[in-house]
Amino acid sequence: MYFIYLLLFLPTLIFSQTGFYKSSDENIELKKIASNLDVIWGMSSILDDKLLFTLKSGKIGILNTKNKEIKYIFNISDVWNFGQGGLLDVQKSPNFKEDNLLFFTYVKDINDKATTVLSSAKFQNDKLLDWKDLFVSKAFSNTNIHFGSRITFDEKGHLFFSIGDRGVRENSQNLSNHAGKIIRLNLDGSIPKDNPFTNQKDALDEIYSYGHRNPQGLFYDKKSKKLYSSEHGPRGGDEINIIEKGKNYGWPIISYGKEYWNNSPVGESTSKKGMEQPIKYYDPSIAPSSLIVYEGEVFKNWKGNLFLGALKLQHLNRIVLDKDNKVIKEERLLEELNERIRNVIQSNKGEIYISTDSGNIYMLNSKP
């Protein structure tokens, strides 16, 4: 792989645009802190005033959230940037203060077929060093859709990331490939010994769960110790799931969605023995992107709530769950922006950052 280091500082070209919005539980101050950057697929709050972000085109940059300056530090020259492919997620290591590691997912062309790849690099003095591909998934296809992909970590040293079905529905039920799966690895890319399919013939050891269509949201909540995912369904059938080890989430055998070419339902039915049900599905579709469980102190009334970006219906989706993981409230925020919200993260200080397909980054803070 060939990389280009970019040491270009961009002056502040935007002014913070402030707006005030009201949730049923919080007053929100919204500031635009970056604009016109291309599709911003992933973000990670690496330091209190430094936000690292990925552009679908392959660039990696740092936004100084105080003075709004942007510095591009890296470019993946062989990223496969077609259709839904490109440079995707970024997450800092759970041990970032000690190891300075960052993890990325991106799409790579190997022998004229594209697949999702997990990589790592060390962040040092505003540079990325020692870039390496940790895991090249067996999710090859000639299509340019359904790559996933989000990254998250549990407290036991495991890394999870999601891969879509690559536009080939039967992939999701086939344990001999990684498409339509959620993967669990150790931080060094090795396979945990207790992964669910390590002793199963014709199954890949890295698989943690299967039966997924295109999960673009994945978040491990340390308080509840639950792994949440959000995934795109066809014409309805977008889902929020709680992911458990070795479980089958049904796609394409069960779904709440409809076919694109007519109104017939996808699959056999909406439920089947041995297949998991979502805790929420959306019909019509909102096209959910990334997902977090809010754990900060800035929005005290939102602690424990789920937040999803909506691409098609262009809003920030807020979900309140009860103790039994039943949805008791949904709220659609920031509809006035008319923005496809691609990524949602919580900063080190507890603010919420969102990025959009039009290349904007916004910061949400609490308004007294």
Q: What pLDDT was estimated at residue 4?
A: 42
Q: How many domains does the chain have?
A: 1
What pTM, to 2 d.p., does this model score? 0.94
Residue 22 neighbours by CB distance under 10 Å:
10
Q: Which residue has the tokens 């000639």?
A: 142
User: Catalytic residue at 232?
Assistant: no
Q: What pLDDT was estimated at residue 299?
A: 97
C-alpha closest to that of 83 among 104, 60, 59, 109: 109
131-148 residue pLDDT tens: 999 999 999 999 999 999
CATH code assigned at 142:
2.120.10.30
Check 146, 178, 212, 315 and give the catalytic one: 146
Q: What pLDDT was estimated at residue 48?
A: 87
282-326 residue pLDDT tens: 999 999 999 999 999 999 999 999 999 999 999 999 999 999 999
For residue 33, the enclosing domain spans 3-366
pLDDT interval class at 2 (50, 70, 90)? very low
Tokens of 160: 């999870």
Proportion of the chain above pLDDT 70, given as a percent: 95
Residue 10 has pLDDT above 70, yes or no: no
Longest dimension (CA), the chain: 58
